[in-house]
Amino acid sequence: MMVWPHRALAALVCGLLALGSSSTEAAKPSATDRPPARAAKSRKAKKPVPPPIITLEHLSTHHKLELQPSTGGGFSRRKMQEVSSFLRCHHTGKRHSMNERLVDILYKTARHYHNAKLFIVAGYRAPKIAKQKGNPRSPHKRGVAADFQVAGASIESVRDYLRSTYHHIGVGFYPNSGFIHVDVGRQKDAFWIDYSGPGEKARYGPPSLRRDRKRGAHVAESGRGDDNPETSAVSDGEEAGG
Tens-digit pLDDT profile for residues 142-184: 999 999 999 999 999 999 999 999 999 999 999 999 999 999 9
**Residue 141, domain member (yes or no):** yes
**Residue 10, domain member (yes or no):** no
Tens-digit pLDDT profile for residues 18-65: 555 555 555 555 555 565 556 555 567 788 889 999 999 999 999 999
Sheet of 218-219, strands arranged across: 64-67, 54-58, 118-122, 145-150, 179-184, 169-174, 190-193, 218-219
What is the predicted pLDDT for the residue at 160? 98
Domain hosting 64: range is 54-219
Q: Which of helix, strand or coil describes residue 215?
A: coil
The Cα–Cα gap between 144 and 99 comes to 5
**Residue 131, domain member (yes or no):** yes
Q: Which H or E run contains 161?
A: helix 155-165
**CATH number of the domain that 165 lies in?**
3.30.1380.10
How many independent structural domains does the chain possess? 1
Q: How confident is the model at residue 7 (pLDDT cuts 50, 70, 90)?
A: low
